[in-house]
């Protein structure tokens, strides 16, 4: 079945350092979404990408969707303590209502 | 994310009892989903429903049952057949937008502990 692999599983950075998490799918995706889950909370939608090679920015966050629509990345520039949490990618195949999640990258930021 | 409610936030049950988790949405979304999250793990799909009176098994449906009698409601029953029911249960709903995009939100979740 469809699998979405996400790396790294954990990332610890000093405040001000950059952070990147990568997502790879075994199949071509029609749509990829990114979520952030704070400790004790629920996943909160950040963004979705649908076009090959798409790049979107939200302040210090940059999201990319690969040309083959099989991989994606989230990059945070100059991390802050408010960035702490687990970042999940989730992908859909064309025509499917199922959203398959990666296992997430847990980010901790040392002030 | 607004518009999806799950209750209760915390639930405690004895082993061997069935328990039903509620999920209600007022977003007019057609599709609804149940996910399970274990500590330090990702989200695994239990069941999903694309339309009223219809639902499909996800990746880990064994020991669970659902119903979708109303568009707004998608309750999940954790039966005594589920071997490891203690987990964080998340409900979500979505609707398809133009251009292949989806609007999808999660509820606040229910933490179920079975002893």
- pLDDT above 70 for B1: no
The answer to whether the Cβ–Cβ distance between A100 and B45 falls below 8 Å is: yes
Q: How far does the CA of residue A19 sit from the closest CA of chain B (Å)? A: 19
At residue A42 the predicted structure's pLDDT band, cuts being 50, 70 and 90, is very high
Q: Per-residue pLDDT tens for B22-72?
A: 999 999 999 999 999 998 778 999 999 999 999 999 999 999 999 999 999
Residues of chain A contacting B44 with CB distance shorter than 8 Å: 101
Q: Per-residue pLDDT tens for A52-71?
A: 999 999 999 999 999 999 99
At residue A1 the predicted structure's pLDDT band, cuts being 50, 70 and 90, is low
Residues of chain B contacting A50 with CB distance shorter than 8 Å: 99-101
How far apart (Å, rounded) are the C-alpha atoms in residues A15 and A108?
A: 9
């Amino acid at each position: 079945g469809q699998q979405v692999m996400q790396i790294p599983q954990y990332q610890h950075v000093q405040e001000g350092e950059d952070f990147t998490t990568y997502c790879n799918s075994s199949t071509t995706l029609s749509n990829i979404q990114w979520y952030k889950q704070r400790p004790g909370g629920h996943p909160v939608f950040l963004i979705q990408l649908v076009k090959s090679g798409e790049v979107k920015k939200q302040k210090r966050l940059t999201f990319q969707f690969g040309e083959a629509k099989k991989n994606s990345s989230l990059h945070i520039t100059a991390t802050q303590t408010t960035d702490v949490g687990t970042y999940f990618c989730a992908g859909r195949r064309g025509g499917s209502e199922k959203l398959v999640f990666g296992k997430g990258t847990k980010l901790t930021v040392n002030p | 994310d607004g518009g999806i409610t799950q209750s209760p936030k915390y639930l405690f049950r004895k082993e061997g009892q069935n328990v039903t988790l509620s999920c209600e949405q007022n977003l007019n979304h057609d599709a609804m989903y149940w996910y399970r999250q274990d500590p330090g793990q990702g989200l695994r799909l239990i069941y999903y429903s694309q339309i009223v009176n219809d639902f499909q098994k996800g990746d880990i449906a064994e020991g669970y049952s659902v119903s979708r009698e109303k568009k707004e409601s998608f309750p999940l029953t954790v039966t005594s057949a589920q071997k490891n029911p203690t987990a964080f249960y998340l409900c979500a709903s979505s609707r398809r937008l133009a251009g292949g995009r989806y609007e999808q939100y999660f509820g606040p979740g229910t933490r179920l502990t079975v002893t």
